[in-house]
């Protein structure tokens, strides 16, 4: 008997049956085939900054865990929005990932014309670490405490200035939140990003900065900077002797974070596979130790939890921008 193999295996009913079979495959099936080729991890900031340092660490450990090359590409610009937009518009297959930082919801809140849907077009995977900012002044500054700085600022409105990586950066909005809650006016000096703000402070050209521990801790320990306060709701574990801003301004709280995101619409099994890999990575004692050395606390969460957190941060910074009448870019 002669069989028409084309009809047997590729007829309409068979195709329907195959489609149904694929639909009911176990959730991990798709993830098992991932990844099959190199992954690009986009760092939306310039080389040399705290985000870039974290991107290199995460990329290395993801590569080791997934057994494929993870190539870090720096795509700076627009407060991180250039790199974020690149990932948001990429093919949703899990091969283009984004290093998400606390700057993401801040920059998104400042956007005058959205380039993409800031909630839907990125699929959050998990946090990796979180940390407060540290309010730093030059080592020879007259202020020994944050309370002293605040008193001076109240009595000398507009005379203190602070440097940041740019308008709408999380350090900018952190300082503006201080202005709102402290009833003070300090002058914003935006820089070109990277370590520029830190260089301005070390050079004595600005009065204070809000900086991530990754870059500021070594300079504090060496005596080149003086730390006045941390921005978390509780004292920073690496410097328990350091007061919080909230001890002078009750209710003040700012944390930044480092996490991972994929393109919106990436299949859920791939997102979960990446989340699982992040959990393994962060639970590694060597990685946890390194994250603490870089100034953060290891922290993981579910993709859904991270989505909620980022959405809430977006709302918070929009309120600060509107309240301070900061011009959207």
Residue 74 maps to which CATH number?
3.40.190.150
In a shared domain, residues 102 and 152? no
Find how far residue 166's CA is from the centre of its chain: 16
In a shared domain, residues 283 and 224? no
In a domain, 29, yes or no: no
User: Which CATH number is 151's domain given?
Assistant: 3.40.190.10
Q: Which of the listed residues 214, 231, 247 is the one where a domain comes to its end? A: 247
Q: What angle is formed at CA 139 by the lines to CA 138 and CA 145, rounded to 5 degrees?
A: 85
In a shared domain, residues 71 and 117? yes
Number of Cβ within 10 Å of residue 89's Cβ equals 14
Domain of residue 171: give its range: 134-247
In a shared domain, residues 60 and 205? no
What DSSP character marks residue 326?
P
Q: Which of the listed residues 221, 247, 273 is the one where a domain comes to its end? A: 247
Separation of alpha carbons 283 and 275, rounded Å: 12
In a shared domain, residues 124 and 141? no
| Structure confidence by residue, pLDDT tens digits, 208-220 | 999 988 889 999 9
**pTM (two decimals):** 0.81
Which residues, 6+ apart, have CB-to-CB distance to 182 below 8 Å? 150, 153, 154, 248, 249
For the chain, report the end-to-end CA distance as a whole number of angstroms. Answer: 73
In a shared domain, residues 139 and 240? yes
Indicate if the pLDDT at residue 177 is higher than 60.
Answer: yes
Report the domain count for the chain. 2
% pLDDT > 90, the chain: 78
Q: What angle is formed at CA 313 by the lines to CA 309 and CA 315, rounded to 5 degrees?
A: 120
In a shared domain, residues 238 and 160? yes
pLDDT at 169: 87
| Structure confidence by residue, pLDDT tens digits, 50-65 | 889 999 999 999 999 9
Separation of alpha carbons 99 and 114, rounded Å: 19
Measured CA distances, 87 to 124, 146, 268, 309 (Å)? 12, 39, 17, 20
In a domain, 197, yes or no: yes
In a shared domain, residues 107 and 202? no
Indicate if the pLDDT at residue 13 is higher than 70.
Answer: no
In a domain, 290, yes or no: yes
In a domain, 191, yes or no: yes
Q: Where are the alpha helices (DSSP H) in 160-203?
A: 170-182, 196-202
| Structure confidence by residue, pLDDT tens digits, 306-321 | 999 999 999 999 999 9
DSSP string, 13-66: HHHHHHHHHHHTS-THHHHHT---S-EEEEE-S-TTSHHHHHHHHHHHHHHHHH
Separation of alpha carbons 85 and 99, rounded Å: 12
In a domain, 102, yes or no: yes
Q: What angle is formed at CA 203 by the lines to CA 199 and CA 205, rounded to 5 degrees?
A: 100
In a shared domain, residues 286 and 228? no
Q: Regarding predicted confidence, which is higher, 165 or 207?
A: 207
In a shared domain, residues 70 and 206? no
Number of Cβ within 10 Å of residue 120's Cβ equals 11
Q: Which of the listed residues 247, 270, 296 is the one where a domain comes to its end? A: 247
Task: For residues 112-132, give the mean pLDDT.
Answer: 95
Indicate if the pLDDT at residue 29 is higher than 70.
Answer: no
Separation of alpha carbons 14 and 219, rounded Å: 67
In a shared domain, residues 79 and 142? no
Residue 28: pLDDT band with limits 50, 70, 90: low
| Structure confidence by residue, pLDDT tens digits, 179-235 | 999 999 999 999 987 789 999 999 999 999 999 888 899 999 999 999 999 999 999
Find how far residue 107's CA is from the centre of its chain: 11
Residue 9: pLDDT band with limits 50, 70, 90: very low
Separation of alpha carbons 162 and 187, rounded Å: 6
């Amino acid at each position: 008997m002669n069989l028409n193999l084309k009809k047997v295996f590729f007829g309409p009913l068979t195709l329907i049956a195959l489609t149904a079979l694929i639909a009911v495959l176990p959730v991990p099936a798709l993830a098992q085939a991932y990844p099959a080729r190199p992954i690009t991890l986009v760092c939306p900031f310039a080389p040399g900054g705290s985000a870039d340092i974290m991107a290199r660490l995460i990329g290395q450990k993801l590569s080791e865990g997934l057994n494929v090359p993870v190539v870090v590409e720096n795509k700076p610009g627009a407060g991180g929005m250039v790199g974020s937009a690149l990932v948001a518009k990429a093919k949703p297959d899990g091969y283009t990932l984004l290093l998400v930082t606390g700057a993401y919801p801040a920059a998104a809140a400042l956007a005058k014309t959205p380039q993409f849907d800031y909630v839907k077009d990125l699929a959050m995977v998990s946090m990796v670490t979180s940390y407060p900012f540290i309010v730093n002044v030059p080592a020879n500054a007259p202020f020994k405490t944050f309370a002293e700085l605040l008193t001076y600022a109240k009595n000398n409105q507009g005379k203190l200035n602070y440097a940041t990586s740019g308008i709408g950066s999380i350090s900018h909005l952190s300082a503006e939140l201080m202005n709102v809650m402290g009833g003070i006016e300090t002058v914003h000096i935006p820089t070109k990003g990277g370590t520029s703000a830190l260089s301005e402070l070390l050079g004595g050209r600005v009065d204070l900065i809000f900086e991530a521990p990754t870059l500021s801790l070594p300079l504090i320990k060496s005596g080149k900077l003086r730390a006045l306060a941390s921005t978390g709701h509780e004292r920073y574990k690496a410097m328990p002797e350091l007061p919080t801003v909230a001890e002078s301004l009750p209710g003040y709280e700012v944390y930044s974070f480092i996490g991972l995101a994929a393109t919106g619409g990436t299949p859920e099994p791939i997102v979960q596979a990446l989340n699982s890999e992040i959990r393994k990575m962060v639970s590694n004692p060597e990685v946890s130790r390194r994250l603490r050395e870089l100034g953060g606390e290891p922290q993981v969460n579910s993709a859904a939890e991270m989505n909620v957190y980022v959405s809430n941060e977006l709302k918070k910074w929009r309120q600060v921008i509107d309240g301070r009448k900061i011009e959207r870019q």
